[in-house]
Structure 1
Amino acid sequence: MNSINLAPVYPEIFLVVATSALLLVDMFLPEEKRNITYWLALLSLAVSAALTLGDFNSGATVYTFNNMFVSDPLSNLMKLFSYLAVAIAFIYSRQYTTERGMLGGTLGGEFYILALFALVGQMVMLSANNFLIVYLGIELLSLATYALVALRRDHTVSTEAAMKYFVLGAMASGFLLYGISMLYGATGSLDLHEVAKATASGTENKTVLVFGLVFLVAGLAFKLGAAPFHMWSPDVYQGAPTSVTLLLGAAPKLATFGVCIRLLVEGLWTLAIDWQQMLTVLAVLSMAVGNITAIAQTNLKRMLAYSTISQTGFMLLGLLSGVFSGSNMDSAANAYSSAMFYSITYVLTTLGTFGMIMLLARSGFEAENIDDFKGLNQRSPWFAAVMMILLLSLAGVPPMVGFYAKLAVLQSVVAAGQLWLAIAAVMFSLIGAFYYLRVVKAMYFDEPVDNSQIAVHKDMQVTMSANGIAIIVLGLVPGPLMALCVAAISKTLGS
């Protein structure tokens, strides 16, 4: 019997063991020592990051568990940014969760434990090389996030949001599983490389393949929150505790992007013409629905949910530009790396925006309406400046990183010969700039409705400031991060 190489799975194994140990430790902690759970969770992320960094620096592609699990530059880079996103989310959420009793009483440290288990699901998704492993990772992520949304059991809006998320999520999982079963029926394999070979042979039933592909893309579109599968996003973003909304809007986006590369580009590249058309429709609908509907929103969390939908549309533009007939490997790698750069920088930006909502919130008060940001410049010029930087980046205003990310995606779209798509994306971005600038106007030109002092922990203050500065620095010097993305994509697709 052949021994299994466990080295590529060390980060996942460690995080599962550490999270399970954290659950046991937290059970015996008195309420006044809940901070120990917070620091241990951050320590677990740091050790996992160190293990993954070693794999990433080696630059090797290693398969294990009969080729069902792969450790390669793409998965390792996205895991590193997932750790960073979850760590920032923990720092931003610390004060918010404590004030709302989410860490006290019978709940304990469930917020951290569920978030870490969700992260394990994301790691499995990123390294999956088999349809069943993809599904396993998605379900581990989904089950943990369902529980997170419903964490405040005495909060009616949260439980309603969790129920909507669960019902629609179950339907999306059904779509995904049905699509996988159709592809298995057509190709006779669940291994992504074997599926790629079978579809390339041209002997399989094309109708069955495309039928399965439709359901597969629909399931992925739900997980990304792309229109018209976006129905859950606004309600869940608004109804969930802001700390959970922050988690939902961050790291899972990176994992879903990785799964799209795995399934569509590595496994089903011979059906690119078919899934490109689907992604084109999803991208245009997402940009239209997201940007136009966001204009009518007064709740900032709901507005940012529609913003996420529109940003997802932009990311899909990079994905669909990579494998056009006649395009070479270099242009494909540039398109995918631009989409990867976009997803990473968007996550860093959205972490800051939801973090700012929690920064202004206090016990018994949720600062989630646009009116709550009125006159922020008079209360705290520095935090108003940070929020403005984040919003301008989402709008794609130079020199913020959002501008460069949008430009890189648009370049790949134009290079693929889809000029009309690039023009549509620019037009929708101009519409989107309105609702971002409306918040900036409220912060700088309106009188404050709340003059209370903003009191935040030092770690959140420092992290929030670093977050805002990073958005400008990455916008001015995007080369190193883009080079990392290009190298990760090129090495992964070339292996």
Structure 2
Amino acid sequence: MTTMQATLAMPVASELVPLIPELTLAGLGFLLLLIDLFVSDARRGITHVLSVLALLLVGAMIVLGVGSGDEASVLSGMFVRDTMADVLKVCTCVVSAVALLFFWPDLRERGIYKGEVSVLVLFAVLGMMLLISAGSLVMVYLGLELLALSSYALVAIDRDSPLASEAAIKYFVLGALASGLLLYGMSLVYGATGSLDLPTIRNVAAGVDHPMLLLAGVVFMTAGVSFKFGAAPFHMWLPDVYHGAPTPITLFISSAPKLAAFAMVVRLFGFGTAPLAEQWQPLMAVLATLSLVVGNVIALVQANLKRMLAYSTISHVGFVFLGFAGGGAVGYASAMFYAISYALMATAAFGAIVLMARRGFEADRIADYKGLNARDPWSAAMVLCVMASLAGVPPFLGFWAKLAVLRAAIDGGMLWLAIVGIVFAVIGAYYYLHVMKVMYFDAPEEGHAPMEARENGVMRFTFAVNALALLVLGVFWNPIMAWCQAAFV
């Protein structure tokens, strides 16, 4: 190698150092894909265990600071490694690993577990990590599409189920539409600023006298982002997809991707178009209000637990948008805290359904949980913890998350929005309390014995840890909030 070649190679190699966790995850994903070719169906659990270990390894690398350094931005600013990125990536890896622990017993029992399931999850997490660290519009779209394509395939993994196939088609078609809206918005922003780099877009936006083209791009990007979040009125895909997909898949797509969606909003709006905050914050407030109203009101009349949780997801997205509407470091930190809290709560909520389900019995009707305490008091107590946290009952984690975003909205001068949030938090508590009432005070339906959890030690232990974490972290929530605040100092 000549001196010139060595000089050129050194900066390229150094720019790849912050991407070591992402490169490791990509390499392990391809390795597992090759290993799966030589593993029989009877030993398919090997690739599953390796995929869980891969996620934990990558999360540990980020915690230990592997690849982190003084340079926060590499690849000409396309990739950003900062505190927010590291915290969200660790949470994404942990939540995804927990989700995978629910995959194997349920999907194997249904006969639909395939080796590519774990690989698709790894590549979906890779897409989330790229999206979280996006420093340009190109990286935002690359990470988003990698996540989306993996998610479409996961939803359609049960090809013999008409419900799952229908959900996958709806997800794909509406997802393509949302991607088109987002891409069109990005093209307008590029046309107005002449750059794909988010810091440059921010600098140009601060000096634009007539930002109509730029604002049009922001509106289209808001529509695309709202779809990915599942915010009203762009929520039409979410109930059908959550209901139609196999429950372990629903568990995954309802939790970790919300962390990546949060990062996408912060990168595009909080960092990229921050000078236009006075224009897009009221839009966030409107989306928050619509999500709170639509999600909570429709969830009240649901008899299917998965659909109820789907509509409650819309309401929780409304609370995340409360933080965005508040704006500033306090608002973003509060929204980040809520996104992390909700990811843990969603994992536990759908994990309860997976734990109770059997072949031919989905355990997805609220009536199925009648008398659960009579047969399995421990599982009933764990489900109680999950529902209490989702309802925002103190001292569970969900209470502090709601309190944080409500305070952020008030600090941002949107008292009316905080009042709306409080009113619909009270309304939303009803359908969670209804599940608790069914478990403890209703007798099982005639001809149906009280159900109980599976006799799977790993799954029961995972669910118990997840549910109890909502109580423990509710008592010791300050460190999580401190990490979120450190991301926006």
**TM-score, L = length of structure 2:** 0.95
Query: Which residue of the partner structure matches residue 72 of structure 1?
Result: 82
1:242-274 deviations in whole A, cap 9, x for unaligned? 011001101100001011111101110001011
Does the 8 Å contact 2:379/2:453 carry over to 1? no
Query: Which residue of the partner structure matches residue 449 of structure 2?
Result: 450
Q: Percent identity?
A: 48
Q: For 1:217 and 1:59, locate their aligned partners in 2 and report how far apart those are by CA, in whole Å.
A: 33
2:127 to 78, 99, 121: 121
Instruction: Please report how far the alpha carbon of residue 430 of structure 1 lies from its aligned counterpart in structure 2 after TM superposition.
Output: 1.0
**TM-score, L = length of structure 1:** 0.94
Q: For 1:416 and 1:271, locate their aligned partners in 2 and report how far apart those are by CA, in whole Å.
A: 15
Q: For 1:202 and 1:182, locate their aligned partners in 2 and report how far apart those are by CA, in whole Å.
A: 14
Query: Which residue of the partner structure matches residue 264 of structure 2?
Result: 259
1:399 to 395, 400, 406: 395
Query: Secondary structure at the residue paired with 1:447?
Result: coil
Worse-superposed segment, 2-11 or 153-162: 2-11
Does the 8 Å contact 2:325/2:412 carry over to 1? no
Does the 8 Å contact 1:319/1:335 carry over to 2? yes
Q: Residues 436-475 of structure 1: matches in 2 within 5 Å?
A: 436-448=432-444, 449-451=448-450, 453-475=452-474
Q: For 1:301 and 1:57, locate their aligned partners in 2 and report how far apart those are by CA, in whole Å.
A: 40
Q: What letter matches 2:285 in structure 1?
A: T
1:164-199 deviations in whole A, cap 9, x for unaligned? 011100000000000000000000000001100111
Q: For 2:274 and 2:450, locate their aligned partners in 1 and report how far apart those are by CA, in whole Å.
A: 56
Instruction: Please report how far the alpha carbon of residue 129 of structure 1 lies from its aligned counterpart in structure 2 after TM superposition.
Output: 0.3
Q: What letter matches 2:129 in structure 1?
A: M
Query: Which residue of the partner structure matches residue 142 of structure 2?
Result: 136
1:82 partnered with 2:92? yes
1:98 to 97, 105, 108: 108
Q: Residues 329-368 of structure 1: matches in 2 within 5 Å?
A: 332-368=328-364
Q: For 1:202 and 1:209, locate their aligned partners in 2 and report how far apart those are by CA, in whole Å.
A: 9
1:35 to 41, 45, 65: 45
2:233 to 228, 234, 240: 228
Query: Secondary structure at the residue paired with 1:6?
Result: helix
Instruction: Please report how far the alpha carbon of residue 56 of structure 1 lies from its aligned counterpart in structure 2 after TM superposition.
Output: 8.1
Q: Give the number of equivalent residue pairs.
A: 476
Does the 8 Å contact 2:19/2:67 carry over to 1? no
Does the 8 Å contact 2:373/2:440 carry over to 1? yes
Query: Which residue of the partner structure matches residue 9 of structure 1?
Result: 19
Q: For 2:321 and 2:451, locate their aligned partners in 1 and report how far apart those are by CA, in whole Å.
A: 42
Does the 8 Å contact 2:370/2:442 carry over to 1? yes
1:238 partnered with 2:243? yes
Query: Which residue of the partner structure matches residue 479 of structure 2?
Result: 480
Query: Secondary structure at the residue paired with 1:142?
Result: helix
Does the 8 Å contact 1:8/1:55 carry over to 2? no
Moved over 6 A (4+): none
Q: What letter matches 1:173 in structure 2?
A: S
Does the 8 Å contact 2:371/2:439 carry over to 1? yes
Q: What letter matches 2:393 in structure 1?
A: V
1:277 to 282, 287, 303: 282
Query: Which residue of the partner structure matches residue 327 of structure 1?
Result: none
Q: What letter matches 1:350 in structure 2?
A: A
Q: For 2:43 and 2:66, locate their aligned partners in 1 and report how far apart those are by CA, in whole Å.
A: 36
Q: For 2:70 and 2:424, locate their aligned partners in 1 and report how far apart those are by CA, in whole Å.
A: 40
1:291 to 296, 304, 312: 296
Unaligned runs of 5+ in 1: 323-331, 491-495
1:431 partnered with 2:417? no
Does the 8 Å contact 2:454/2:460 carry over to 1? no
Does the 8 Å contact 1:183/1:213 carry over to 2? yes
Instruction: Please report how far the alpha carbon of residue 306 of structure 1 lies from its aligned counterpart in structure 2 after TM superposition.
Output: 0.3
Does the 8 Å contact 2:293/2:315 carry over to 1? yes
Q: For 1:262 and 1:229, locate their aligned partners in 2 and report how far apart those are by CA, in whole Å.
A: 20
Q: What letter matches 1:123 in structure 2?
A: M
Instruction: Please report how far the alpha carbon of residue 57 of structure 1 lies from its aligned counterpart in structure 2 after TM superposition.
Output: 10
Instruction: Please report how far the alpha carbon of residue 314 of structure 1 lies from its aligned counterpart in structure 2 after TM superposition.
Output: 0.3
Worse-superposed segment, 392-401 or 283-292: 392-401
Q: What letter matches 1:398 in structure 2?
A: P
Alpha-carbon distance change, 158 to 210 in structure 1, aligned in 2, over 3 angstroms: same
1:408 to 404, 411, 420: 404
Q: What letter matches 1:363 in structure 2?
A: R
Query: Secondary structure at the residue paired with 1:55?
Result: coil
Instruction: Please report how far the alpha carbon of residue 455 of structure 1 lies from its aligned counterpart in structure 2 after TM superposition.
Output: 2.5
Q: What letter matches 2:299 in structure 1?
A: A
Q: For 1:221 and 1:316, locate their aligned partners in 2 and report how far apart those are by CA, in whole Å.
A: 10
Instruction: Please report how far the alpha carbon of residue 63 of structure 1 lies from its aligned counterpart in structure 2 after TM superposition.
Output: 1.3
Q: What letter matches 2:262 in structure 1?
A: F
Query: Which residue of the partner structure matches residue 187 of structure 2?
Result: 181
1:385-437 deviations in whole A, cap 9, x for unaligned? 11111111111111111111111111111112211111111111111111111
Query: Secondary structure at the residue paired with 1:315?
Result: helix
Does the 8 Å contact 1:56/1:77 carry over to 2? no
Does the 8 Å contact 1:315/1:343 carry over to 2? yes
Instruction: Please report how far the alpha carbon of residue 489 of structure 1 lies from its aligned counterpart in structure 2 after TM superposition.
Output: 2.2
Q: What letter matches 2:179 in structure 1?
A: S
1:249 partnered with 2:245? no
Q: For 1:138 and 1:376, locate their aligned partners in 2 and report how far apart those are by CA, in whole Å.
A: 40
Q: What letter matches 1:15 in structure 2?
A: L
Instruction: Please report how far the alpha carbon of residue 60 of structure 1 lies from its aligned counterpart in structure 2 after TM superposition.
Output: 4.8
Does the 8 Å contact 1:192/1:263 carry over to 2? yes
Does the 8 Å contact 1:249/1:347 carry over to 2? yes
1:75-132 deviations in whole A, cap 9, x for unaligned? 11100000011001011222111101122xxxx3121111111111101100110001
1:335-389 deviations in whole A, cap 9, x for unaligned? 2111111110111011001000000001221111101111111121111111111
Query: Which residue of the partner structure matches residue 329 of structure 1?
Result: none
Does the 8 Å contact 2:99/2:252 carry over to 1? yes
Q: What letter matches 2:398 in structure 1?
A: G
